[in-house]
Amino acid sequence: MSVEEQAQERREYPRAPLIGVGAVAIKDGKILLMKRAFEPGKGKWSIPGGLVEVGETISDACAREMEEETGIKIHVLELINAYDMIVPDEAGKVKYHYVLIDFLVKPIGGTERSSVEVLEMKWVTYEEARQLDMTNSARKALQELFGSTGP
């Protein structure tokens, strides 16, 4: 079983909520979005992020996940908000349950590249982002941060 399959297996029907972090990176007035390669949200645009590892702070997890998924090094600036993401299956049993903690971050280096978790990534304006098929949690993070005005 691949690393990705093992990670997906532990995410479906969890015994307890999983803690995830997300990074809203802005450069030159544009936001970095990525198209997800795996469920939940496969094929949708989202902000980079992933799960917090045992013994890791949430800001360290945010920086690690951003670099792993995109190659970009960041400085975590501030907390945007925390969200519940609970997705039931057809029978009503909880298939996914995350507590998502999103941060505003500043790119500080690295070389852009996509990991296996990313189908595509691009820098877009807030108006462009609003037109994309985004995950609900990414849309919430951007609305919380920018409202209707954008960066």
Asked if 70 and 32 touch (Cβ cutoff 8 Å), the reply is yes
Cα separation, 63 vs 9, whole angstroms = 24
Report CA torsion sign: 141, 145, 147, 151: negative
- Strand partners for 30: 27
Among 9, 68, 120, 144, the active-site one is 120
118 HSE (CA, 13 A, CB side): 22
Cα separation, 61 vs 34, whole angstroms: 18
Q: Is 120 a catalytic residue?
A: yes
Q: Which residues are catalytic?
A: 120
